[in-house]
Structure 1
Amino acid sequence: LNSALKQCDYQTLIHGDAKLANFSANSQGHILGYDFQYVGAGVGVVDVMYFMTSCLDDSELHKHAQTYLDYYFSQFKNALSHYQPAVNA
């Protein structure tokens, strides 16, 4: 799996340690990130999975992962259509 992720065509900068303790929300609902010591190239969904596994226990992850991933990919598709319309989501 790691080898396949490293060979993906579309990589971005990822946090690398996207756990709940490294994020907070302000009173306006903006998410703030901290502790960027592991930043590097990677596939964005890696950070999504790190974050989800830091927030949910195993049973919650199995119960809700698909719903959260569907939401992530719908938002990702919307962002691509806005910022990179030439990329086919």
Structure 2
Amino acid sequence: MPLVPLTDEERATLDFETTWHGNAHRKQETLTARGWTTTHYYLVLGRALAKPVAALEYPETVRRLTHLRQIRNNERHANRPVTR
């Protein structure tokens, strides 16, 4: 099965993440200046990370973002009571 290529928008999002250095507030300002809403940006980023080709083209960025996503997910679920 062939790999589904990244769209131009997904590639631009991963390029941005690859070069981004700063705090969250400045990131929001930069996204707005580029005409991107935060919601749309993170939807595109999530879609890009779900494609195996992203890890081939942006290995360090995908590894870093996947790791951060896992940490946040673990923290989010760490304090939940166990239900049976």
TM-score band, normalised by the shorter chain? Answer: 0.3 to 0.5
Please identify which structure carries the higher strand content: 1
TM-score, length-scaled by structure 2: 0.36
Higher relative contact order at CA 8 Å, sep ≥6: structure 1 or structure 2? 2
Would you tell me which structure has more helix in proportion to its own residues? 2
